[in-house]
Amino acid sequence: MQKIPRNKDNDYTCDMATERRRVITEETGAGLEHIGTYSIDPGLLPGNIENFSGVAQVPMGFAGPLQVNGEHARGEFYVPMATSEGTLVASYSRGMRIAREAGGIKTTVIDDAMQRAPVFVFEDARFAREFGRWVSAHFAQIKAKAEETTSSGKLINIEQYAAAKMCWLRFNFTCGDAAGQNMVSKATRHACMWILDQNPPGLEHFSLAANFDTDKKHSWVNNLHTRGKRVVAEIVLPDHLIKTVLNTSSQAMYRQRQLSNMGSIMSGAVNNGAHYANGITAMFIACGQDVANVAESSAGINYAEIRDNGDYYLAITIPSLVVATYGGGTGLPTQRECLNVLGCYGRDRVYKFAEIVAATVLCGELSLGAAVVADEWVSSHDAYGRNRP
């Protein structure tokens, strides 16, 4: 087979994209007409993709308006959602309608941290223990070294986890408006090179990553200690609204919540909610997020109560929402447009975006949960989710 063409001097051009598509068509026989139709300037793409050949177009719609009563996001928003799943935008819009009629969704960013977790391996557990004590005593110097590589990353603390003769150091950073994975990798490596220069007694081996930071993976440590943004969205729904908008009742919703809790326990699921991943993925694609971070971002905790007056309280907690409003894919043309619709592009906007994502997730939980209880789940997919006879 032919090699995929590259141009060392200027690889990000329409001509190079055309040449690559030509090779793929010759080798596979597949037509690439739609892949080759795009409005993006390839010159904008260094740092976002290699071997640029065209675009994968995903249908996009707006849900809303969504009313958010947050500390950073306040007001009504039209939420961009890119998906090929019928019923999704309609369902989220329905959840947004009842939330709006109930006065909106309260959102709170609880915590903010991005990690890299190197491991240090020693001759025995005592050397590992003494190393941990040394790290605690020299935190200020380690922090200064880490922050030499970044203007926006700040080292908050270093958690320590020991097993056998190993010591994992979980470096926790704030990263401004960037998601920060690459930022913290560089900063942590720089700090660890300084640590290695101090010749820790008994050290046998070092690795910058050994799966404890759980990048692009869910973990229970993220549930407890946060990765990205830890965000809560909550609402109180009057029972009469549940009956008129969602065709069910607060009692029925609450009973279903208990059954869903039990099902999640029985199955060992990482989320006791309905479908966090749907809303998060659709927003991530539309708004230029690293979509692979849905792996950790879609973990979550649903909690519900029935108030004495019959009103229904629902809260969703996303413990590891990895989002950005600056850097990465956020500056690409269509993604930047979507962030601008939300007023979330650029610096000092990431907490606002996190609150909007969490509020959107809550709306999806309300709508799908009610559809299951009211036996409208299958019929709604039949009406909106089928594109074949």
Whether 85 is catalytic is yes
Q: Is 381 a catalytic residue?
A: yes
Going from the N-terminus, what domains does the chain have, and what CATH number goes with each? 7-57 (no CATH), 60-111+228-382 (3.90.770.10), 118-207 (3.30.70.420)
CA distances from 277 to 88, 111, 226, 382 (A): 11, 21, 18, 21
> pLDDT at position 155, please?
98
Tell me which DSSP letter residue 135 carries. H
Q: What is the pLDDT of residue 125?
A: 98
The predicted pLDDT at position 386 comes to: 59
The pairing of beta strand 60-70 with beta strand 105-116: parallel
Q: What is the pLDDT along the chain (389 residues), one digit of tens a residue?
A: 999 999 999 999 999 999 999 999 999 999 999 999 999 999 999 999 999 999 999 999 999 999 999 999 999 999 999 999 999 999 999 999 999 999 999 999 999 999 999 999 999 999 999 999 999 999 999 999 999 999 999 999 999 999 999 999 999 999 999 999 999 999 999 999 999 999 999 999 999 999 999 889 999 999 999 999 999 999 999 999 999 999 999 999 999 999 999 999 999 999 999 999 999 999 999 999 999 999 999 999 999 999 999 999 999 999 999 999 999 999 999 999 999 999 999 999 999 999 999 999 999 999 999 999 987 756 555 566 655 55
Q: Which of 11, 19, 85, 305 is catalytic?
A: 85
Tokens matching residue 216: 């692009």
Distance, CA of 306 to CA of 354 (rounded, Å): 27
Active site residue 240: no
Give me the pLDDT at residue 350, please. Answer: 98
What pLDDT score does 383 carry? 60
**Which of 101, 130, 147, 290 is the catalytic position?**
290
| pLDDT confidence of residue 375 | 73
Tell me if 69 sits within 8 A of 61, measured CB to CB: no
Of 138, 190, 225, 381, the catalytic one is 381
Q: What angle, rounded to 10 degrees, do the helices at 88-101 and 350-373 form?
A: 100
Alpha helices in 57-124 (DSSP H): 88-101
Other C-beta atoms lying within 10 Å of the C-beta of residue 308? 6
Report the C-alpha gap between 83 and 364 in whole angstroms.
14
Structure tokens at 229: 């943004």
Cα dihedral sign, 382-383-387-389:
positive
